[in-house]
Amino acid sequence: MHHSDFIATLASIYKPKVYVELGLYTGETISKTQPYFQKGYGIDMNPNDSLEQLKKCSNLEIIYTTTNHFFESFQEGIDMAFIDADHCYESVLVDFENVFKRLNPGGIILLHDTDPESNHLMNPGYCGDSYKIVHYLENHFEINCTTLPLTEAGLTIVTRKSDTRTFRRTIIV
């Protein structure tokens, strides 16, 4: 299964009010999730015809800027986010922290390029060293983290431990 189809399936379940996608490329993932969110923000530095077509969607805002610049003024809570911008570990970490600070209760973060299937995918033009974020996430006590071997690059799913239904029942009991 392609990661964009998997993310769209999750969006159909979560039905996020606010969806943020960092790194759009041609817009394949955001176009598949668009029917399921109320308001979406797509952030990319490189305009292209495919993204310009997506600007016609009334519930979607395509913004051509860096992810850091976007978060300087973005103050909304996020229900679902997909991080697939700069594939450098340091940039992925900053993007994750920016999203996590704004993640609403029950929210979900998805990170692409976290489980490359071969060494050549670790080149900067592909996954880069973004896969290193998984080690950070696995040692971050506030989150649940699962990495799936989807396609050749992998996808990691992150939620807050305090949002887990089992965790909430255990605390209440």
User: The domain that contains 155 carries what CATH number?
Assistant: 3.40.50.150
What is the pLDDT at residue 86? Answer: 94
Task: Please tell me the predicted confidence (pLDDT) of residue 110.
Answer: 98
Say what the pLDDT of residue 171 is.
Answer: 53
DSSP three-state, residue 47: coil
Whether the CB-CB separation of 107 and 119 falls below 8 Å is answered with no
- For residues 137-153, one letter each, b for 16 or more C-beta atoms within 10 angstroms of the residue's C-beta and e for the rest, the string is beeeeebbbebeebbeb
pLDDT in tens, 31-41: 999 999 999 99
Question: pLDDT-derived band of residue 166, with 50, 70 and 90 as boundaries?
Answer: low
Q: Count up the domains in the chain and report the number.
A: 1
Q: Quick one: pLDDT at residue 61?
A: 97
Cβ neighbours of residue 94 closer than 8 Å, sequence gap 6 or more:
67, 68
Asked whether 102 and 77 are in contact (CB, 8 A), the reply is yes
Residues spanned by the domain of 11: 3-172
